[in-house]
């Protein structure tokens, strides 16, 4: 039986920051650095009553309501996040607690947990759900996987430009409506110090290095994946959704991936063929000469029509949501998949798209990349058309720079500031304050 993703719901933070028009002028930077360089228009932020729990619980509630599911039909709730505020009690218990306020029945029978490995943990939580179902331990129940983050950086950090906040809830079941997951996976994993939060809320980031590590681990994951399934032919992939910290990163990842899967034309492999082994730096005389040769090759490849066409069809459509919400860390690759499927629906594809392949590349700093493929299932279009993300995006409150600085402080756990909410809660879970043991508390507002 096929196992995979049966339903998706997305919840964006209810505030937005306009990067070219509000943020760039205050930073004294050219707006095109954001729109053209990083590839971003706006980022999402949580209102003062929103956080990882409310966004996750609101996404999960929409999903359960739309699918008509009761708590006893969910056997597992896993949350993936790198924004947790509790080192012991998992965010999934807070979310289950929220949901129990509004449903008859409870989640006492459900196995709950929290997955951590930076942004790749959303995909790892889906793997756990897949394995649980494949092992026959689910007793007919579905798994709820929620990737939720407030991706905020220290004010003034270069990463500030790529912030974002939101949650993606996914239902993993047998006979799924959206995609079937492949059994084969490729990994590239190594102890790296590129982006981390050693007991601190905002990350320590070596931005330039993190980009190199992303590309290296992704290449290894692709090699590992191909060692199981054989070479990936570019025209067998309908879309390649990759982890998207910002679209400019995926512009580079797309080129690297294409170079890899069309490697028979790469200079490294031509050289490997002629010398009978993988080339080393000294084949070029120096590291600089080697890097220059690779960079010249990449520039030439980037300029070819075949690459431009492949990129326009396979990668560019995965970036639609990311451009207007920023980085959602654990949810980001799942937004990329959703953007791809939305593109297919907009192109009017329906049954013809069933059976097509997505090549999904996840990445978590620290660092690990994972590649697997997914096969589109009958029912995908109805599920994707049920999303209300366009309405959510259109109703975000547009922050001034001054308001943005206040919102940033509200979500800094080290600070206690009193700021009025910008939007009015309406049929959703809200953060209400702190309880007797310093736990965060929540209510449902009708
Ligand atoms: N017009 C057009 N393009 C412009 C421009 C202009 N006026 N000004 C700059 N650009 C381009 C630059 O050329 C650059 O593009 P290329 O890399 O293709 O050359 C791009 O805009 C960004 O400019 P900078 O490199 O100068 O930007 P920066 O140094 O201020 O910051 C960053 C970039 C280092 C990625 C920073 O945003 C950062 O630290 N981000 C957080 C870390 C991150 O996201 N890393 C990604 C990999 S790690 C990961 O994926 C995990 C995760 O989620 C965090």
For 55-90, give the DSSP string. Answer: HHHHHHHHHHHHHT--GGGEEEEEEE-S--S-SSS-
What is the rounded CA–CA span in Å between residue 192 and residue 171?
A: 32
Is the pLDDT at 264 greater than 90? The verdict is no
Please tell me the predicted confidence (pLDDT) of residue 143: 98
pLDDT at 194 over 90: yes
- Residues spanned by the domain of 156: 3-445
Shortest-distance Cα residue to atom 51 of ligand 1: 365
Q: Taking residues 99-111, what's their average pLDDT?
A: 97
Nearest protein Cα to ligand 1, atom 46: 211
Atom of ligand 1 nearest to the CA of 37: 21
**Which phi and psi (to 5°) does residue 375 adopt?**
-115, 130
- Nearest to residue 164, comparing CAs of 347, 342, 19, 268? 19
* pLDDT at residue 295 in the model: 80
CA distance 57 to 65: 12
Q: How many helices (H) and strands (E) does the chain have?
A: 15, 15
Can you tell me which atom of ligand 1 is nearest the CA of 245? 53
Tokens of 221: 């994951």
Half-sphere exposure of 330 (CA within 13 A, CB side): 31
Instruction: Using most ligand atoms within 8 A of CB, pick from 245, 330, 364, 368 the residue to mutate for ligand 1.
Output: 245
Q: How far is the CA of 213 from the centre of ligand 1 (A)?
A: 14
> Can you say whether the dihedral through the CA atoms of 155, 158, 162, 166 is positive or negative?
negative
**295 CB under 6 A from ligand 1?**
no
What would the pLDDT profile of 140-152 be if each residue is shown by its tens digit?
Answer: 999 999 999 999 9
Number of folded domains that form the chain: 1
Query: Per residue in 54-80, pLDDT tens?
Result: 999 999 999 999 999 999 999 999 999
Between 263 and 170, residue with greater pLDDT: 170
CB distance 117 to ligand 1 below 6 Å: no
Confidence of residue 286 (pLDDT cuts 50, 70, 90): confident
Is residue 46 within 8 A of residue 14, CB to CB? The reply is yes
CA nearest neighbour of 328 among 11, 15, 4: 11
| pLDDT tens digits, 306-353 | 889 999 999 999 999 999 999 999 999 999 999 999 999 999 999 999
pLDDT tens, position by position, 303-317: 888 889 999 999 999
What single-letter DSSP state applies at residue 44?
E
- CA 446 to CA 442: how far, in whole Å? 13
The chain-wide mean pLDDT, for the chain, equals 94
pLDDT digits (tens, 9 = 90+) for 384-399: 999 999 999 999 999 9
Q: CA-based Rg of the chain, rounded to a whole angstrom? A: 22
Would you name the residues annotated as active-site residues? 82, 119, 243
**CATH code for the domain in which residue 233 is found:** 3.40.47.10
Q: Are the beta carbons of 445 and 428 closer than 8 angstroms?
A: yes
Lookup result for tokens 């590349």: 361
Residue 271, pLDDT score: 61
Q: Calculate how far, in angstroms, residue 120's C-alpha sits from the geometric centre of ligand 1.
A: 20
Strands 74-80 and 142-151: parallel
CA distance 74 to 140: 9
Instruction: Look at ligand 1, atom 37, and give the residue with the nearest C-alpha.
Output: 159
* CB of 208 closer than 6 angstroms to any ligand 1 atom: yes
Which ligand 1 atom sits closest to the C-alpha of 34?
21
* Percentage, residues of the chain above pLDDT 70: 96
Residue 269, pLDDT score: 67
How far is ligand 1, taken at its centre, from the CA of residue 37, in Å? 7
Please give the share of the chain, as a percent, with pLDDT higher than 90.
Answer: 86
Q: Is the CB of 330 under 6 A from ligand 1?
A: no
Q: How far is the C-alpha of 413 from the C-alpha of 84, rounded, in Å?
A: 11
Residue 361 pLDDT grade (very low, low, confident, very high; cuts 50, 70, 90): very high
Residue 379: count of CB within 10 angstroms of its CB:
15
**Mean pLDDT of the region 165-179:** 98
Which mutation among 29, 116, 158 tests ligand 1's pocket best, with the greatest number of atoms within 8 A of CB?
158
> For residue range 195-235, what is the model confidence (pLDDT) as tens digits?
999 999 999 999 999 999 999 999 999 999 999 999 898 89
- d(CA 4, CA 358) in angstroms, rounded, equals 13
Q: What is the pLDDT of residue 273?
A: 65
Query: Is there an atom of ligand 1 within 6 Å of 159 CB?
Result: yes
Q: Return the closest-CA partner of residue 248 out of 37, 42, 43.
A: 37
């Amino acid at each position: 039986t096929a196992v995979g993703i049966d339903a998706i719901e997305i919840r964006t933070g209810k505030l937005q920051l306009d990067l070219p028009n509000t943020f760039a002028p205050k930073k004294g930077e050219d707006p095109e650095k954001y729109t053209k360089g990083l590839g971003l228009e706006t980022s999402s932020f949580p209102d003062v009553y929103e956080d990882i729990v409310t966004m996750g619980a609101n996404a999960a509630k929409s999903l359960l309501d739309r699918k008509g599911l009761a708590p006893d039909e969910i056997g597992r709730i896993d949350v993936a996040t790198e924004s947790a505020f509790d080192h012991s009690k998992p965010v999934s218990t807070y979310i289950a607690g929220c949901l129990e306020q509004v449903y008859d029945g409870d989640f006492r029978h459900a196995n709950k947990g929290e997955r951590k490995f930076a942004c790749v943990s959303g995909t790892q939580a889906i793997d756990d759900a897949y394995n649980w179902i494949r092992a026959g331990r689910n007793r007919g129940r579905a798994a709820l996987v929620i990737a939720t983050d407030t991706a905020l950086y220290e004010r003034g950090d270069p990463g500030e430009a790529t912030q974002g906040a939101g949650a993606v809830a996914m239902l993993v079941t047998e006979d799924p409506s959206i995609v079937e997951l492949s059994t084969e996976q490729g990994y590239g994993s190594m102890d790296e110090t590129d982006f981390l939060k050693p007991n601190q809320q905002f990350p320590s980031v070596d931005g330039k290095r993190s980009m190199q590590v992303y590309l290296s681990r992704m290449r290894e994951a692709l090699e590992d994946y191909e060692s199981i399934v054989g070479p990936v032919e570019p025209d067998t992939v309908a879309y390649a959704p990759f982890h998207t910290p910002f679209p400019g990163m995926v512009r580079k990842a797309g080129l690297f991936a294409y170079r890899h899967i069309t490697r028979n034309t790469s200079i490294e492999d031509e050289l490997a063929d002629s010398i009978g082994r993988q080339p080393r730096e000294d084949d070029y005389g120096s590291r600089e000469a080697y890097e220059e040769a690779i960079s010249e090759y990449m520039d030439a490849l980037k300029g070819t029509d075949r690459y431009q066409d492949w990129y326009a069809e396979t990668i560019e459509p995965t970036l639609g949501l990311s451009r207007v919400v920023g980085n959602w860390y654990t949810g980001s690759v799942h937004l990329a998949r959703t953007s791809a499927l939305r593109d297919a629906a907009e192109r009017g594809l329906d049954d013809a798209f069933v059976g097509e392949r997505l090549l999904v590349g996840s990445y978590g700093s620290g660092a690990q990349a994972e590649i697997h493929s997914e096969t589109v299932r009958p029912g995908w279009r109805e599920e994707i058309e049920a999303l209300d993300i366009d309405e959510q995006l259109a109703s975000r409150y547009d922050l001034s720079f001054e308001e943005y600085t206040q919102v940033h402080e509200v979500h800094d756990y080290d600070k206690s500031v009193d700021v009025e909410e910008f939007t009015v809660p309406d049929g959703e879970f809200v953060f209400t304050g702190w309880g007797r043991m310093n736990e965060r508390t929540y209510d449902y507002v009708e």
